[in-house]
Amino acid sequence: MSTFAVLAVWAVIVPAWLSLRTDPGPRRRRVSPAAGVITWLFVAVPSLVQLGVAPGLLRAGRRDAAVIGEGEVWRLVTALVLQDGGWLGGAFNLGILAVTLVLVRRWLRPRAWLPLLVGGGVLAGLATIALGGPDGAGCSMAVIVLLLGTLGRVPAKAALPALGIALVAAAVLLTAHDQHGLAVVLGILAAGGLRAADWWQGGGTDVRDLADGRDRSGGGGHAPA
C-alpha cells in the first residue's frame, strides 16, 4: 500500500474511532472484554505464527485469484488471518483491529461484529478479485468494514461526519486503484443497512432508543445485536 493510500486509510479510521467513542448511554449493555480478546487472538495467532516461524503459510493461504478460481475458496477466509506486509504491516493491521474491537464492543455484540468482520473481509476480497485487484492477505479491509459498519449503531449526529469523510476517502482510494476503497464502500453500505434494520425493527425509533430493547413510547422494540 502506497504512502498516499495509507494516509487515506487513516483518514477513514481516525474519525470513525472518534465517533465510536460517543457515549452509548447507561442502558446499553457492553460486551465483556474477553469476547474482543478472543476475536483478536483468532486473527493474531496465525498471523504471528506466519510472520515469525512459518512464512510458507502466506503462500498457502493468501488470497490468490487464480487458485480461488480453481476451487480453493477457503482462501478468502484464511487470507484474513495472514499478513502480506511483513512485521510492519502486520503490526499496523493487528493494532487497528485491537483498537476497533475495544470501541466496537460498546455498540455491538459478537453475533453482530463477527459477520461484519469475517463477511466484510470475504466480500472485500471477492470484490478485489472481481475488479482485477492484487493477490494478498491481511485483515485491514475486514477491519474497515467492521469499523464503518458499526457506525450504523451510533447516533447520526456523531456518525455522519465520519461516514462523509469515509466516502471522500473511498473515492480517492478507488481513483488510485487501491482495493481498500472497496472495503470503505462496503463499510458505508453496512452502516446504512444496520441503521435501516434498527429503524425498521424499532418502528421508526432512533437507534439510541433501542439500547435496552425499549423505545421512547415504552413499546417493545428489539435489543440490538
Q: For 139-204, give the DSSP string.
A: SHHHHHHHHHHHGGGS-HHHHHHHHHHHHHHHHHHHHTT-THHHHHHHHHHHHHHHHHHHHHHTTT
pLDDT top residue among 201 and 170: 170
157-170 CB burial, b ≥16 within 10 A, e <16: ebbeebbebbeebb
pLDDT band at 207 (very low <50, low <70, confident <90, very high): very low
Query: Is residue 18 assigned to a domain?
Result: yes
Determine the pLDDT at residue 26.
67
Task: Give residue 66's Cα distance to chain centre.
Answer: 26
Determine the pLDDT at residue 1.
66
Mean pLDDT of the chain: 88
Q: Which amino acid type is present at position 139? A: C
Residue 214, pLDDT > 60, answer no
Up-side HSE of residue 117: CA atoms within 13 Å toward CB? 26
Q: How far is CA 70 from CA 58, 64, 123, 195, in A?
A: 18, 10, 18, 37
Reduce the DSSP state of residue 216 to 3 states and report it.
coil
Query: Is residue 98 assigned to a domain?
Result: yes
For residue 16, what is the domain's CATH number? 1.20.1540
Whole-model pTM? 0.88
pLDDT top residue among 199 and 34: 34
The total number of structural domains in the chain stands at 1
Residue 204, pLDDT > 70, answer no
pLDDT per residue over 14-67, tens digit each?
999 999 999 887 656 667 899 999 999 999 999 999 999 999 999 999 999 999
Query: Is residue 217 assigned to a domain?
Result: no
Query: Is residue 218 assigned to a domain?
Result: no
Q: How far is CA 60 from CA 43, 64, 139, 145, in A?
A: 16, 9, 16, 25
Query: Is residue 37 assigned to a domain?
Result: yes
Query: Is residue 126 assigned to a domain?
Result: yes
Query: Is residue 221 assigned to a domain?
Result: no
Domain that holds residue 172: 3-210
pLDDT per residue over 68-85, tens digit each?
999 999 999 999 999 999
Query: Is residue 222 assigned to a domain?
Result: no
pLDDT per residue over 83-101, tens digit each?
999 999 999 999 999 999 9
Residue 132, pLDDT > 90, answer yes
